[in-house]
């Protein structure tokens, strides 16, 4: 003989089922978005680094060990869950006039400003590099690349205290095309850089005018 739930218990069970369904949908949404498009994985971008080092906005120890990630997770968790959708469409080639100063790391505050925290100045965790280092773009969607453009913040500019403008950048190189594949790699050769800098990779996908603006914090020592 089966027990019959009272009306309040039926309502509670229904609410729990709905809540679980919503949570499952959100997890599915984040996982789906994070399995498409791509980003720079080496040296890791700001939001890719935050997403891979920390499980969520309340991860223990993050505030003390990684304060910029803690701030970014709380300002826009979607920017971390969707770490490889940081792009803007149909910008044309005059990107230095289309993407405003101070908004380069968020692709001009793309997607209603979702990636705004990526523009925050501060002590982002850095990757140590030498005068020559690789940049690796991982393209899970295999869009192909018309080119990669590499910029580095000028010597003497401090990205820990100031937002980045185009006049704060040295243009380093532009690659040729890459066929559709998982990884696009290029060697970056520099001289005269020391200390904290930001490497900005602009990846133009080949399937449409879709440009990714990918900021990686590095330490030249």
The answer on 13 and 75 residing in a single domain is: no
What is the number of structural domains in the chain?
A: 2
The answer on 55 and 8 residing in a single domain is: no
The answer on 102 and 127 residing in a single domain is: yes
CA–CA separation, 119 and 202 (whole Å): 15
Poorest-pLDDT segment among 29-33, 165-169, 181-185, 195-199: 29-33
The answer on 142 and 103 residing in a single domain is: yes
Predicted pLDDT at 60: 97
The answer on 198 and 110 residing in a single domain is: yes
The pLDDT tens digits of the residues spanning 175-194 come to 999 999 999 999 999 999 99
On the question of pLDDT at 35 being above 90, the answer is: no
Sequence length of the chain is 221
On the question of pLDDT at 66 being above 90, the answer is: yes
Q: What are phi and psi of 126, to 5 degrees?
A: -105, 160
The answer on 65 and 24 residing in a single domain is: no
The answer on 196 and 137 residing in a single domain is: yes
Element housing 69 (H / E): helix 67-75
Q: ω into residue 43 within 30 of 0, thus cis?
A: yes
The answer on 108 and 21 residing in a single domain is: no
Let me know the angle formed at the C-alpha of 42 by 199 and 191, rounded to the nearest 5 degrees: 45
The answer on 120 and 92 residing in a single domain is: yes
The answer on 125 and 187 residing in a single domain is: yes
The pLDDT tens digits of the residues spanning 72-129 come to 999 999 999 999 999 999 999 999 999 999 999 999 999 999 999 999 999 999 999 9
The answer on 205 and 161 residing in a single domain is: yes
Domain CATH code at residue 140? 2.70.50.50
Predicted pLDDT at 145: 97
Note the Cα 9 to chain centre separation in Å: 44
Where in the sequence is the domain holding 48, given as residue range(s)?
38-219
The answer on 150 and 71 residing in a single domain is: yes
Let me know the angle formed at the C-alpha of 72 by 70 and 76, rounded to the nearest 5 degrees: 125
Q: Provide the mean pLDDT of the chain.
A: 88
173 beta partners: 150
pLDDT above 90: percentage of residues in the chain: 84
């Amino acid at each position: 003989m089966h027990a019959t739930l009272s009306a309040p218990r039926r309502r509670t069970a229904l609410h729990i089922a709905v809540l679980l369904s919503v949570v499952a949908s959100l997890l599915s949404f984040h996982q789906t978005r994070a399995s498409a498009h791509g980003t720079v994985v080496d040296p890791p971008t700001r939001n890719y680094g935050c997403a891979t080092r920390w499980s969520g906005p309340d991860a223990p120890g993050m505030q003390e060990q990684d304060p910029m990630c803690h701030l970014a997770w709380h300002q826009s968790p979607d920017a971390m869950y969707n770490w490889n959708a940081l792009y803007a469409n149909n910008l044309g080639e005059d990107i230095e006039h289309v993407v405003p100063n101070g908004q380069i790391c968020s692709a001009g505050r793309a997607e209603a400003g979702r990636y705004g925290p990526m523009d925050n100045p501060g002590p982002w965790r850095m990757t140590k590099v030498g005068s020559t280092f690789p940049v690796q773009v991982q393209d899970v969607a295999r869009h192909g690349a018309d080119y990669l453009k590499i910029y580095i913040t000028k010597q003497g500019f401090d990205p820990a205290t100031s937002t980045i403008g185009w006049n704060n950048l040295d243009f380093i190189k532009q690659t040729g095309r890459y066929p559709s594949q998982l990884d696009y790699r290029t060697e970056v050769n520099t001289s005269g850089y020391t200390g904290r800098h930001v490497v900005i990779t602009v990846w133009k996908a080949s399937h449409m005018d879709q440009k990714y603006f990918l900021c990686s914090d590095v330490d030249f020592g």
